[in-house]
Amino acid sequence: MANHKSALKRIRRNEAVRLRNRYQHKTTRNAIKKLRSEKDKKKAEALLPAVESMIDKLAKRNIIHSNKAANLKSKLTKQVATL
């Protein structure tokens, strides 16, 4: 167990941040699944910028690697273009 007040606070903060990161990552994954299952090109094109923005935010906050974000965006854009 932590002996310092600051260490206890850090433990609480780490847990809060971990839960927030998990929530954002799961929300983004669900949005990606929704986009991938979309059959209508217009709806997919409307959804794409929002999903790309979510992916960029995850990469910016180091929740996912920047290369993974680029790969996801590329594959999603390619898939929407072929609809």
Provide the pLDDT for residue 8: 94
- The dihedral region occupied by 62, where left means phi > 0, alpha psi between -120 and 50, and beta the remainder, is left
d(CA 80, CA 58): 21
User: pLDDT digits over 1-27, tens only?
Assistant: 788 999 999 999 999 999 999 999 999
User: pLDDT digits over 30-80, tens only?
Assistant: 999 999 999 999 999 999 999 999 999 999 999 999 999 999 999 999 999
> How many Cβ atoms sit within 10 Å of the Cβ of residue 9?
11
Provide the pLDDT for residue 1: 77
> How many Cβ atoms sit within 10 Å of the Cβ of residue 44?
20
Provide the pLDDT for residue 69: 98
Q: Identity (one letter) of the amino acid at 32?
A: I
Domains located in the chain, CATH noted = 5-81 (1.20.58.110)
Give this prediction's pTM. Answer: 0.89
